[in-house]
Chain A
Amino acid sequence: SYELTQPPSVSVSPGQTASITCSGDKLGDKYVCWYQQKPGQSPVLVISQDTRRPSGIPERFSGSNSGNTATLTISGTQAMDEADYYCQAWDSSLVVFGGGTKLTVL
């Protein structure tokens, strides 16, 4: 079965750039979406189809996808961005989530 691999944790200082990776076989051939989930809350779609920001998502969130790796980039990271982040893609007729990355802003 298809797998998406994320680092368990990433740390970033306020105002700096955070990068969270998601790896999978030929992932660049698929569309990747990213979700933010804060404690006790439902996930929020922050990046759609590799690079698209849904309405209401700040410009500091961006995405890319090429080869075997997709990347979520948060520029000028703020304390409010501290959360778990999940990548997601379709493989054939199945939806796959990455294991999640805990972003710590310190």
Chain B
Amino acid sequence: QVQLVESGGGVVRPGGSLRLSCVTSGFTFSSFGMHWVRQAPGKGLQWVAFIRYDGNNKYYADSMKGRFTISRDNSKNTLYLQMNSLRAEDTALYYCAKDHTVTTSGFDSWGQGTLVTVSS
């Protein structure tokens, strides 16, 4: 079955950096677009970034552009999110998610999330 397992979260000071990873299995990773989505404590879902199946197209939410970088290693079935210049408002549970079929078909598999806390 499809599995997505995030890691790399933790406590970081404002201005610091973190690199999240999402190890996947159970599907052909290199055939699907992937996303990062976050959820602040007690709040709704907020999309962070998307990367096309081959890594050639990347899109970011406006508030993350220039600070976050999404990438993937299809040989390792792994998705990454490099987060720099972190702010308190970046505190959230970060999920990786897989495209259902085509890009507009939604996200049909989600990990359990990794918690990022930005605090001094």
Question: Which A residues form the contact surface with B (CB < 8 A)?
Answer: 1, 30-31, 33, 35, 37, 42-45, 47-49, 52, 54, 84, 86, 88, 90, 93-100
Among residues of A, the one whose C-beta sits closest to the C-beta of B57 is A93
State which of A48, A54, A86 has its C-beta within 8 Å of the C-beta of B44.
A86
Q: Is the interface of A mostly helix, strand, loop or mixed?
A: strand
Q: What class of interface size applies to chain B in its complex with A?
A: 20 to 34
Asked if B105 contacts A33 (CB within 8 A), the reply is yes
In the complex, 15 of the A-B residue pairs with CB atoms within 8 angstroms, ordered by the A residue number, are: A31-B104, A31-B105, A33-B106, A33-B107, A42-B110, A42-B112, A45-B108, A48-B108, A54-B100, A86-B44, A86-B45, A93-B59, A94-B61, A97-B44, A99-B44
Q: Does B27 contact A (CB under 8 A)?
A: no
Q: A49-B106, A86-B44, A95-B47 are in contact. Are A42 and B95 (CB under 8 A)?
A: yes
Q: Does B103 contact A (CB under 8 A)?
A: yes
What chain B residues lie within 8 Å of A35 (beta carbons)?
45, 106-107
Distance in Å: Cβ of B27 to nearest Cβ of chain A: 14
What chain A residues lie within 8 Å of B50 (beta carbons)?
95
Distance in Å: Cβ of B20 to nearest Cβ of chain A: 15
Asked if B62 contacts A1 (CB within 8 A), the reply is yes
What chain B residues lie within 8 Å of A98 (beta carbons)?
44
Distance in Å: Cβ of A39 to nearest Cβ of chain B: 11
Among residues of B, the one whose C-beta sits closest to the C-beta of A37 is B45
What chain B residues lie within 8 Å of A93 (beta carbons)?
59
Question: Besides A35-B45, A90-B104, A94-B61, 13 other CB < 8 A contacts?
Answer: A30-B104, A33-B104, A33-B106, A33-B107, A44-B110, A47-B106, A48-B100, A48-B105, A49-B104, A52-B105, A54-B106, A93-B59, A94-B47
